[in-house]
């Protein structure tokens, strides 16, 4: 990192809530990351307790150097790791150079994320399983409708989530180049990727083969991947409504996929459902509730 980039960051520039800053440089000869565009540098200013919980971006010039200044909160970084979002910002955070740090707080926080500790890992595992299930279900529906190109795309996305699950099970934090990460593991999912993309059989046959393997993996991994949700379902005597579950902060990262996962757990007998009568002005209806 150039001295000019080191020197521009201080508490006045970053803000009093900042715990430090990370500089990330585009590698020479590689294609530009989407986040960097045509900037050579990205400076990630990490805050603790930002009042405005949105990413703030500034385009700046220091001497002849054009760079992007991005302000983020610690909580947002952890949320992105759990949900698998904003992968380029997470990559910059994990692999950039710490250029400014207050009392080692930023280094300690990055070490916490890099260790991929159990609480973060369990939430990320549930999220990737939910996405895996969603894309598998979509691919199966499209295949049945003979929309094979769309089915191919969906099953390829399902395999990417499957690949991230395999990395998580190995204690590895999935990053943006997931196929490079799983290639060295000699994993099942990489073999399925080869079957899907490089095989002499017809497109439909390749899709059907991978869907069959995905169905088996979803079934075998369901209980361990959904341990957080199953533990919540069993945490009280009263059964849970879907509305109650969707309001829980522990499940906020997979709220969109929660109904699908719940129904799959019931179908596989890992969770149970019961009906509770609700009175309304137009009569009565029975609300489904879930428990283990």
Q: Report the CATH number of the 233-292 domain.
A: 1.10.10
Is the entire prediction scored with pTM above 0.95?
Answer: no
Q: Residue 83, class by beta-carbon neighbours within 10 Å (0-12 exposed, 13-18 middle, 19+ buried)?
A: middle
Long-range contacts of 189-198 (CB under 8 A, 24+ apart): 189/159, 189/162, 189/163, 190/163, 192/159, 192/162, 193/159, 193/163, 196/152, 196/155, 196/156, 196/159, 197/156
What was the pLDDT predicted at 195? 92
Rounded-to-integer distance, Cα 144 and Cα 139, Å = 9
Domain boundary assignment for the chain: 3-114, 118-225, 233-292
**CATH superfamily ID and name for 118-225:** Nucleotidyltransferases  domain 2 (1.20.120.330)
pLDDT in tens, the chain (292 residues): 444 454 555 555 556 689 999 999 876 545 545 566 678 889 999 999 887 777 889 998 888 888 899 999 999 999 999 999 999 999 999 999 999 898 899 999 999 999 998 999 999 999 999 999 999 999 999 999 999 999 999 999 999 999 999 999 999 999 888 999 999 888 899 999 999 998 889 999 999 999 999 999 999 999 999 999 999 999 999 999 999 999 999 999 999 999 999 999 999 999 999 998 766 656 567 899 999 9
**CATH superfamily ID and name for 3-114:** Beta Polymerase, domain 2 (3.30.460.10)
Rounded-to-integer distance, Cα 92 and Cα 80, Å = 13
What was the pLDDT predicted at 1? 46
What was the pLDDT predicted at 11? 54
């Amino acid at each position: 990192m150039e001295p000019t980039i080191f020197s521009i960051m201080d508490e006045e520039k970053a803000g009093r809530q900042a715990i430090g800053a990370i500089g990330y440089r585009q590698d020479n000869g590689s294609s530009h990351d989407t986040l960097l565009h045509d900037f050579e540098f990205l400076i990630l200013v990490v805050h603790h307790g930002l009042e405005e919980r949105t990413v703030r971006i500034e385009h700046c010039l220091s001497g002849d150097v054009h760079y992007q200044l991005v302000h983020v909160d610690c909580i947002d970084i952890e949320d992105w790791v759990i949900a698998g979002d904003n992968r380029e910002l997470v990559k910059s955070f994990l692999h950039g150079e710490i250029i400014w740090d207050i009392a080692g707080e930023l280094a300690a926080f990055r070490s916490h994320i890099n260790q991929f500790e159990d609480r973060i890992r369990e939430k990320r595992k549930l999220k990737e399983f939910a996405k895996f299930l969603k894309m598998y279900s979509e691919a199966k529906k499209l295949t049945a409708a003979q929309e094979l190109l769309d089915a191919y795309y969906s099953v390829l996305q399902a395999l990417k989530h499957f690949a991230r699950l395999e990395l998580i099970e190995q204690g590895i934090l999935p990053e943006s180049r997931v196929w490079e990460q799983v290639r060295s593991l000699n994993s099942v999912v990489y073999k399925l990727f080869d079957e899907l993309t490089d095989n002499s059989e017809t497109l439909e046959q390749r899709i059907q083969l991978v869907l069959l393997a995905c169905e088996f993996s979803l079934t075998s991994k369901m209980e361990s991947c959904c341990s957080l949700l199953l533990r919540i379902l069993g945490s009280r005597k009263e059964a849970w409504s879907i509305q109650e579950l969707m309001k829980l902060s522990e499940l906020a990262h997979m709220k969109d996929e929660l109904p699908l996962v719940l129904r799959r757990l019931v179908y596989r007998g890992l969770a149970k459902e019961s009906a509770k009568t609700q009175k309304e002005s137009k009569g009565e209806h029975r609300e489904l509730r879930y428990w283990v």
